[in-house]
Amino acid sequence: MKKSYKIDVDCANCANKMEQAAKNTAGVKDAVVNFMTLKMSVEFEEGHNAKEVMQEVLKNCKRVEDDCEIFL
């Protein structure tokens, strides 16, 4: 399953950090952050709950960039 989320991030480097943090989250098959459109596309691994995984993605993103936001 693939979903798209609106994000709030200040710079392209921060967006790249968010993308890497999302990719390293359990349950995420792939993630792509587009800084120009301020969107994150996340593909989830089979059998994982998207809402639960996205809570972990948000936590991981906040660790690398504390002023970022993902609108779930």
SS3 call for 9: coil
Put simply, whether the predicted model's pTM sits higher than 0.85 gets the answer yes
| Predicted confidence (pLDDT) per residue in 37-64, tens digit | 999 999 999 999 999 999 999 999 999 9
How many CB atoms lie under 10 A from the CB of residue 23?
A: 16
CATH number of the domain located at residue range(s) 2-71 in this protein = 3.30.70.100
Query: Domain limits of the chain?
Result: 2-71
Residue 15 C-alpha from the chain's centroid = 9
